[in-house]
Structure 1
Amino acid sequence: MNVTSDLETQPADQPRRKVSGPRPRPLPHKKSRQARRENLTGLLLLLPAAAVIVLLMGVPLVSVIIDSFTDRSFLSPVADFIGLENYIEVLTDDSFWSTFSRTLIWTALSVALQIVIGLAFALLLNQRFRGRGILRGVFLLPWVTPVVVVALIWKWMLNDLYGVINNLLAQVNPAWGDLAWFSDESLALWTVIGVNVWRGVPFTMIIFLAGLQSVPRELTEAAAVDGAGRLRTFANVTLPHLRGILLTVALIFTMFNFNNFDLVYLSTRGGPADRTMILPVKTYEVAFKGLQIGEAGAWAVLMLITIAILATLYFTYVRRSEKESR
């Protein structure tokens, strides 16, 4: 009697049945090799950009830091190491602290006004009305206009002899027609801050406008149903939603304004009587008018340290607020 097995082979002309069940997992060593290849590919793709950043930023930064510990000057081809003498000389100079405090005032007022006015215009342009798109384009003109043009236009309009604004003010009060906006010691700093705010508001407005359009309508409609007015809805619904954007804009514009050189230099060159002298302009004056590269490097490094401290305070505050919200 022939005994046949229960397992019979399938004919060659029939397709094989797929075996059901979980697929075999790749071996650990194969997975690690693939991950290493992907990481290596990513690093190779980043190398050109990293090389450009190092050449354009890293090398000059290291050079400035090294020069700050020497007596390098345009008048002498040889530079000797002098340690912390440049820093001691700068920190013991009264002009440093007056310039530093003036820079803080310039930065704080510029950032605060740019944020407040930019948010106000964003709320206005977030409403639906005819010509809203045209107004958005017009409001961007100050930001896209080159800084040289901005400085020249405002110096012409605020000229105390033939300025357009002074002529208009003279129609109201003849004494106002003689205001020297950029050469008066009591007006120069506030005038430059005003011009800086005028130029920076459009950028903050666009950022806040994008944030306002991302606020869910359900929240504002629910607040309206609950009887909340516009001010209360803004304070309790809109503003908390824009909190992250506000903090980011504050940090970015703090760095922008703290390092702002071109607008102040083109408008007043730090005058009159150093009333508009801020750290970037002072660093330029020490380097290219005083011809002291080492001392100018100390000014620049102290600026870098100040910005690093401000950024650290910002990130510390953000982390604490995130932990509290959790």
Structure 2
Amino acid sequence: MTSAGSAGVHEHRRTLSQGTFAVLLTLPGLALFAAIVLYPLLSSLVTGFFQQDLRLPGRTFVGLGNYADILGEGFWPILRHTLVFTAGATLAPFVIGLALALALNSGIRGGGFLRGLFLFPWVIPGVVVSFLWMWIFNANYGVLNGALLRTGLIGESVNWLGEPATAMIAVIVTKTWTSFPWIMVMLLAGLQTLPPELHEAASVDGAGAIRRFFAVTWPGIRSIAAITLLLEFIWNFQHFDTIYVLTGGGPANATRTFAVAVYDDAFRGFDLGHATALGGLWMLLLLGLVAVYLRLSQREAD
């Protein structure tokens, strides 16, 4: 065998050895993924085809019965509540975060201090934030009612968390206070990548602030804004702690979203089959959102 042929064989063996080593390196991670993610996921999907009570042993196969019950009873109100909460808790903090990012990017005095101050709501645990706003919205001694009564904007205390017309608004306000800081940081990072020469040229051409925003600023941050909005939408679509602590899905199921409904069915109604079937439908909707996110990410990479 020639020296060139021998070198090729050795190169092939070395490449094969490197590939095998790479597979061996990924095996622990794959095993952990299969144990804590894949197996529970598949097991729960299978459970959706059974009638299973957490208080009783055994289970009974019902096929698509759980799914039929869900689609025939409360699926559409739950979907509507989830979409209302998700849309409100995504658009409101985005508008606030964008406004603050523009203000901080303009070189406002004390911008560094304000940036750190605005990040404060983001670092507080979600349950703590929920209890804080529960106190603010309290009908008897809440800060919000006290301020509105003193200014004469309301004539009597409002039960913000106890009325179907205001409960969802209160939950969205609470989630907005938690979410706007990270959106502000993401958009501010995008704004700081824009060349200042573009704004200077637009100003020389006579463009005002609004014109410069739509002609220069927004096209420059449109991609990061789209990804930020989509990520926030996905996270809000599966949000649980704020809603559960503030209202528990009430009043009159006015804030009952997928996350709350799955928890209630499993751990209050003890109907594991019904809960996992609802979770399966919820997961399908989330997979659609994830597919859109991956598509946007791939477009940006290309």
C-alpha contact (below 8 Å) 1:166/1:176 kept by paired residues: no
CA contact (8 A) 1:157 1:164 kept: yes
RMSD over aligned CA atoms reads 2.3
209-218 or 139-148, which deviates more:
209-218
2:185 matches 1:206:
yes
What's the CA shift for 1:71? 1.1
Give secondary structure in 2 for the equivalent of 1:178.
coil
Letter in 1 for 2:176: V
TM-score, scaled relative to structure 1: 0.84
Residue matched to 1:155:
134
Q: TM-score, normalised by structure 2?
A: 0.91
Residue 268 of structure 2, aligned match among 263, 277, 289: 289
Correspondence for 1:179: 158
Indicate the residue corresponding to 1:217 in structure 2.
196
CA contact (8 A) 2:126 2:241 kept: yes
Question: By how many angstroms is 1:252 displaced?
Answer: 1.2
Deviation (angstroms), 1:120? 1.1
Identify the residue that residue 122 of structure 2 maps to in structure 1.
143
1:130 & 1:25 partners in 2: Cα distance? 70
Provide the rounded CA distance (Å) in 2 between the counterparts of 1:282 and 1:299: 8
1:242 is paired with a residue whose SS is helix
Q: Provide the residue aligned with 1:260 in structure 2.
A: 239
Which one of 25, 44, 49 corresponds to residue 45 of structure 1? 25
The structure in which a higher percent of residues are helix is: 2
Greater gyration radius: 1
Change over 3 Å in CA distance of 1:243–1:41 after alignment to 2: farther
For the 8 Å contact 1:167–1:177, the answer to whether it is kept is no
Unmatched tracts of structure 1, length 5 or more:
1-23
Identical-residue share of aligned pairs (%): 37
Mean CA deviation greater in 147-156 or 56-65: 56-65
Secondary structure of the 2:61 match is coil
The DSSP-based 3-state class of the residue aligned with 1:55 is: helix
Q: Which residue of 1 aligns with 2:44?
A: 64
Amino acid at match of 2:34: V
Does residue 307 of structure 1 match 2:295? no
Q: How far did residue 300 of structure 1 move?
A: 0.4
Structure 2 portions without partners, runs of 5+: none
Whole-angstrom distance in 1 between the partners of 2:129 and 2:297: 35
The answer to whether structure 1 residue 245 and structure 2 residue 224 are counterparts is yes
Q: How many residues align?
A: 299
From 167, 178, 187, the equivalent of 1:188 is: 167
Equivalent position amino acid for 1:286 in 2: D
Counterpart for residue 252 of structure 2: 273
Q: Are 1:88 and 2:68 counterparts?
A: yes
Taking the aligned partners of 2:198 and 2:216, their CA distance within structure 1 comes to 7
Partners of 1:123 and 1:113 in 2: CA distance: 16
SS at match of 1:182: coil
User: Cα distance, 1:185 vs. partner?
Assistant: 1.6
C-alpha spacing 1:230/1:291, structure 2 compared with 1 (3 Å): same
Cα contact 2:227–2:293 (8 A) shared by 1: no
Aligned-partner Cα distance in 2 for 1:142–1:26: 65
Letter in structure 2 aligned against 1:129: I
Preserved CA contact (<8 Å) 1:283 1:299: yes
